[in-house]
Amino acid sequence: MNKENRHPLHINTKKCVGCVHCMTSCPTKAIRIRDGKARIIGEFCIDCGECLRFCPQDAIDSHTTSFSDLNAFKYKVAIPATVLYGQFDNATLPNEILFALRRVGFDSIYELSTICELNSAATEKFLNSHPRPRPFIASTCPVVVRLIQRRYPTLIDLIVPIEPPREIAAKILRANLPRVLKVKPSDIGIIHITPCPAKMVSINYPVSMEKSYLDGAISIRDIYKPVLQALRQSKDEAIMSRLFPETIFSGLGLGTALSGGETRGLKNRRTVAVSGIQDTIRVLNQVEMGMLRDVDLLECMVCPDGCVGGPLAVENRFMAKSRILRLVSLLGERSVVDDSDTNALYQKNFMSFTHSLKPVKATPLDADPVRAIQKAKHRNRIIKQLPGKDCGACGAPDCRTLADDIIRGLALLTDCPFMMKEKK
């Protein structure tokens, strides 16, 4: 566990008061309280951001790309998640937001909804040419991929091996911008604007490719204020952007910010869309037990309602969702991606994973099978001894986890205040 910390979320020990909110909200039981402060166990963390959502002290920092990091690049390119369009008031149109991003310091902005539509079309082609197995699982949410690698290793081959829109977009830009702009490739910084910390992990430690095509990810939280200011200052630009809309938006693609968005584009397919971490875990359990075999594509988004519910978004997800739905209905279902383009890229495997996903094995109770059995028995004896109150006072989220920690040598029976009393 002494590996470098690969996770973007860090406990700010100055702000952390050691309450148990994050610990009890963590779906993988990755948090312990030690010496009055929360600690994240890297091996168990899947970067879902639930802890960040539940921390009342704002004591969980998200190490995403900062503005000053952008200075490393002469030419700065932004690829905002479509969730961004739902963050500002109803009167603010996507074009204005893209204009404002330019004012904030990006040299160019690439709109993602078209690529989201391309990704859906590619997924459809993949499903057509792979009648079995079922159900395939969409790979867009990096947390779902990480969860499957760790908790559902037997489902790895069900993940659609097509890169998410943000990577496809960055790959297209990488291939073309140096030539178009006549700029050195290393001078170009391609930055995703994201509602979640997990993108940072998928950029820094990709699992389906050698190296990410993105250089970083700025959180919506961090960019919100500057964009808002720019929107206020640039009234004239706003008028211009309305009169000369320079970007083509895809209604189909824009909808992917919401749960069910990816499956909506697949017209003749049986699909199921699930959102929220608990329901995602539930449905993956079912798939592992052999259910949902009649479903072509399962879309799981660990955030409530999909990426609009991302932990680093600013606007509450109901408002954001309502705005995005409005944009989707304004734009309509008209396809903006040419089928022949999709075909060409699909045939070249341009959008495919280049590395196959590998399971990440959980550490067993013991490497030796006989001792593992003995430890499991011992763990059950400890569970019987503990009071079963799941109070969290020991620093573990529940009695069962404390017993597990004790067996693994990470905690003591006397960490439980009720056990101390009995000892006296």
Partner 1 sequence: MTEAVSFQQEFKVKGGDFSRGGEASCEIKNLLRDLGLDPQLVRRAAIACYEAEMNIIMYAWQGQLDLLVTPHRIRIIAEDKGPGIADIKQAMREGYSTATPEMRELGFGAGMGLANIKKNTDTFRITSKVGRGTRLELTIKTNGRKA
Q: Which residues bind ligand SF4 (CB under 6 A)?
A: 9, 26, 28, 30-31, 40, 45-51, 141-143, 195-196, 198, 301-303, 306-307, 310
- Closer to partner 1 at the Cβ: 118 or 298? 298
Report what 320 binds from ligand SF4, partner 1, none; CB cut-off 5-8 Å by kind. Answer: none
- Closer to partner 1 at the Cβ: 174 or 375? 375
Task: Specify the amino acid at residue 250.
Answer: S
C-alpha radius of gyration, the chain, whole number: 23
Q: Is the dihedral of CA 412, 416, 422, 424 positive or negative?
A: positive
Site size for partner 1 (CB under 8 A): 24
Single out the residue of 50, 5, 345, 54 nearest to residue 197, CA to CA. Answer: 50
Contacts (Cβ under 8 Å, ≥6 apart) of 48: 27, 143, 147, 198, 277, 302
Examine residue 360 and tell whether it contacts partner 1 (CB under 8 A).
no
Examine residue 279 and tell whether it contacts partner 1 (CB under 8 A).
no
Examine residue 376 and tell whether it contacts partner 1 (CB under 8 A).
yes
- Closer to ligand SF4 at the Cβ: 53 or 378? 53
Q: Which of 61, 237, 288, 390 binds partner 1 (CB under 8 A)?
A: 288
Q: Is the dihedral of CA 135, 139, 141, 142 positive or negative?
A: positive
The single-letter DSSP state of residue 171 is H
Examine residue 388 and tell whether it contacts partner 1 (CB under 8 A).
no
Tell me the window of 186-194, 229-237, 340-348, 369-377 that interacts with partner 1 (CB under 8 A): 369-377
Examine residue 153 and tell whether it contacts partner 1 (CB under 8 A).
yes
Question: Please, what is the minimum distance in Å from the beta carbon of residue 30 to partner 1?
Answer: 15
- Integer Cα distance of 137 and 152 in angstroms: 12
- Both tokens of residue 302? 């660990």
- Closer to partner 1 at the Cβ: 102 or 408? 408
Report what 380 binds from partner 1, ligand SF4, none; CB cut-off 5-8 Å by kind. Answer: partner 1
The single-letter DSSP state of residue 27 is T
Examine residue 409 and tell whether it contacts partner 1 (CB under 8 A).
no
Q: Which of 344, 362, 412, 420 binds partner 1 (CB under 8 A)?
A: 362
- Closer to partner 1 at the Cβ: 28 or 212? 28
Question: Please, what is the minimum distance in Å from the beta carbon of residue 365 to partner 1?
Answer: 5
- Closer to ligand SF4 at the Cβ: 9 or 160? 9
- For 380-414, the three-class secondary structure string (H helix, E strand, C coil) is HHHHHHCCCCCCCCCCCCCHHHHHHHHHCCCCCHH
Contacts (Cβ under 8 Å, ≥6 apart) of 311: 49, 50, 52, 53, 62, 195, 196, 197, 303
